[in-house]
A = this chain, B = another copy of it.
């Protein structure tokens, strides 16, 4: 059960509500986010909701049968929109496009990428400054200094930054230079990181785990939300299966299923989802038709020279073409 508390609730009113929740043998977890304060009642007994529904201090109350609560659409039927400022939104009446290189490599690359984005009306730029790498001997990214250079140019151009955060200690230094913290597929169940991201007022995009279930992704989002941050986006980026003809198996089934289960926006990543440059376009278009709120993909001025993921990275000409087609597909879908 989710109890939305009134913003002007009195302390003794809250105490009375908590007492009532306990009387049903339910735990009561208090959650305060940017948008409100909630009591999450966790328990399995049957009870009469009318006993609690008209207590003073309550804005609204919802029974949520899912074991994730705050991210469930059973509670919040209307889709959530993320507003990054400057007119950049995710999740309502527009297609969110996030493009950029796998790794941030240097100032020149940043500048030319931003120019490409502006030329094509793209308002969000992806790129890694901390790179999770299987081998300890591989390039691990430019780090905070790279991020600062990036931020200087991006903010000047009105471009929003999405980049991966890998550990709790990076959050604080990155905070002022990031618009969306990305939680990578290897960290989807790094619960300490999720807890910490629940404490900041910054949008978080959680990628589905390498072999994560749809439910686990929702639980991971529940961690951040119940920690106090409801600015959340989910991302389908392909799962690990027996099929090795593609890098991952982009699970587009997850898009309509997630859109039904949660009110959060859902983004698809066709670059990682198939991992083959010449097939990124059809998979991006397919993702949109499956109902994705946006697409994140990799682009680089000279893909074969990219520090990482060159085999799945579009050049700027392909990227420009893809944008046009994606918008046409999105418009068609919206017209239905």
Contacts and interface: CB of A to CB of B under 8 A. Distances in A.
Interface of A: 27, 29, 40, 42, 67-68, 132-137, 166-169, 186-187, 189-195, 209-211, 213-216, 219, 222-223, 226-227, 239-246, 249-257, 260, 273-274, 276, 278-279, 282-283, 285-291, 325, 328-329, 332-333, 336
Contacts of A282: 255-256, 289-291
A274 B258 CA distance: 13
B255 A249 contact: no
Nearest to A188: B186
Given A286-B289, A332-B332, A253 B226 contact: no
Given A252-B252, A253-B273, A286-B287, 5 more contacts: A241-B241, A242-B242, A256-B278, A256-B282, A282-B290
Contacts of A132: 189, 191
B253 A219 contact: no
Nearest to A134: B219
B213 A285 contact: no
A17 to B, nearest CB: 18
Contact of A137 (B29, B187, B250): B29
A133 B189 CA distance: 9
- Of A27, A135, A332, A333, which is in contact with the most chain B CB atoms at under 10 Å from its CB? A135
B211 A192 contact: no
B249 A253 contact: yes
B283 A252 contact: yes
Contact of A135 (B67, B134, B214): B67
Contact of A288 (B133, B190, B289): B289
A336 B318 CA distance: 13
A239 B249 contact: yes
A226 B140 CA distance: 15
Contact of A168 (B167, B187, B216, B255): B167
Given A219-B136, A289-B286, A246 B257 contact: yes
Contacts of A240: 211, 242
Nearest to A138: B42
A234 to B, nearest CB: 14
Contacts of A67: 135
Contact of A211 (B166, B210, B276): B210
Contacts of A210: 209, 211
A103 to B, nearest CB: 15
Contact of A227 (B136, B209, B216, B332): B136
A243 B252 contact: no
